Amino acid sequence: MKRAVLLLILVLCLILTACSKSTTSPVDTGEMPIRMNLEPALNQGFNVSQVRVTIQKGDFSAETYLSISGNIASGTFIDLEPGTYAIDVLVYDGDTLIATGQGTGTVEPAQTTTVYITLQFVPGALDIQVTWGLPYENCRKVLLVGNSYTYYNGGVDAHLEQLLAAAAPSWDVDVASITLGGATLEEHLQNTAGIYEIEHGDWDLVILQEQSTRPMNDPDAFYSAATALHNIISQSGALTGLYMTWARQNYPEMYNPISEAYNYLGACLDALVVPAGDGFHYASTLYPTLNLYDSDNSHPSLQGTYLVACIMLAKIWNINPYGNSYYPPAMDVMTAGLIQELAWNTVQNFSGNWYSKALSDQGQFPEELMIPAQSLPAQESGLQIAM
């Protein structure tokens, strides 16, 4: 009997000890509350009906709709693993997307970090410019750092300058490039002439394009070189952007690891990510008439380069390229319209209003969406250190 009692006491002690350990063990997850001031939207006459927030870290993603009370939207993500999360926000008035926001949040164990997101309006027309949010819209000197994915077909920089000249001629935006054939960002980091240009060029935004397979095959090298360049860019007073490339046409499985690597690094550096790779990915099923690849299944065709420039226009300056009067002389207006539409839908993550019915139903490019043709300046080739 005594032995049974002793055994029972021993078992109870073990249970109490286990419970004690479980209640005192360190917390390995954290929370991410999000609180957003909607007053700027309300002051513009909008009635905010929904605020959708998505967070992402690597292959993990979660989504929630914030509660709206007066001019404040709020909500909390719980049980998150430690680390830096990319955050995307979509704000709706009814079914209409009226504003977007991007940001990052870092979760630490047993700590609560409040995330503040800055919103920017989605313009309903190309002549509307609202500076409510990210500083990228104010950029007037932009430098692209990359390789042949940047300089093919006359250069993304050249086409982007032409698009901007048509959309906002008074801005006088300067877009240039530093390109080395087949280069990695690690090689750009070792290019003293290129580093000098970044440090002394008085740029507002420097956009980095990694060698096409490195984010998949050696992401740590990508992260390391891009972070080192980001530090140089930040010290020069400029902002950092990342130009996400695409999967090979005959190797579509590349898309996910490349996209995740760029989005993860963008979250870590709090840098803008230009989702060109997403555009190529969506086009394969949603815009099958477009031919975005060169014959090598890797480099962009002229259509592909033009798509990248249109996505940059939409992502950096929040300008809808649909209806822009500039498109390459070798391209017809219908193809240009589809590419412009694809670019805008890519940046909006295929949310809000689509314009594809206008093209498919009317069989023409709607004239009411065209920007009046501008007298475009002669296009410079940009700064090209090597081919």
* Any domain includes 236: yes
Which pLDDT band, with edges at 50, 70 and 90, does 114 fall under?
low
Residue 383 lies in a domain: no
* List of residues 6+ apart from 126 with CB closer than 8 A: 167, 319, 320, 323, 324, 371
Same domain? For 76 and 153 the reply is no
Domain co-membership, 298 together with 149:
yes
Tens-digit pLDDT profile for residues 229-248? 999 999 999 999 999 999 99
Assign residue 293 the CATH number of its domain.
3.40.50.1110
**Do both 317 and 282 map to the same domain?**
yes
Q: How confident is the model at residue 122 (pLDDT cuts 50, 70, 90)?
A: low
Whole-number pLDDT of residue 78: 87
Residue 100 lies in a domain: yes
| Residue 10, domain member (yes or no) | no
One domain, residues 186 and 239:
yes
The pLDDT assigned to 8 comes to 36
Total domains in the chain come to: 2
User: Is residue 277 domain-shared with residue 178, that is, in the same domain?
Assistant: yes
DSSP strand pairing (67-69 vs 239-243): unpaired
Please indicate, yes or no, if residue 128 is contained in any of the structural domains.
no
Domain end: 121, 145, 175, which one? 121
Q: Is residue 192 part of a domain?
A: yes
pLDDT in tens, 147-206: 999 999 999 999 999 999 999 999 999 999 999 999 999 999 999 999 999 999 999 999
Whether residue 238 is found in the same domain as residue 314: yes
pLDDT for 140: 95
67, 89, 121 - which closes a domain: 121
| Residue 277, in any domain of the structure | yes
Whether 307 and 275 share a structural domain: yes
Q: How many helices (H) and strands (E) does the chain have?
A: 13, 13
Six-digit token pair at 287? 């815009």
The phi, psi pair for 174, rounded to 5°, reads: -110, 120
- Per-residue model confidence as pLDDT tens digits over 257-300: 999 889 888 877 878 899 999 999 999 999 999 999 999 999 99
What CATH code is carried by the domain that includes residue 111? 2.60.40.10
User: Tens digits of per-residue pLDDT, 34-93?
Assistant: 777 777 777 778 888 998 988 888 778 899 998 998 877 888 888 888 877 888 888 888
Q: Are residues 159 and 295 in the same domain?
A: yes
If asked whether residues 141 and 106 sit together in one domain, one would say no
382: left (phi over 0), alpha (psi -120 to 50) or beta: left
In the listed set 121, 156, 186, which residue is the last one of a domain according to the structure?
121
Residue 384 has pLDDT above 80, yes or no: no
| Reported pTM | 0.64
Residues 72, 146, single domain; the answer is no
Instruction: Give pLDDT, residue 377.
Output: 30
String of DSSP letters for 273-299: EE-HHHHHHHHHHH-TT---B-TTSSS
Does residue 97 sit in the same domain as residue 245?
no
Asked whether residue 22 is assigned to any structural domain, the reply reads no
Report whether pLDDT(363) > 70: no
Q: Which domain holds residue 174?
A: 135-369
One domain, residues 149 and 190: yes
Average pLDDT value for residue range 332-349: 93
Single-letter code of the amino acid located at 53:
V
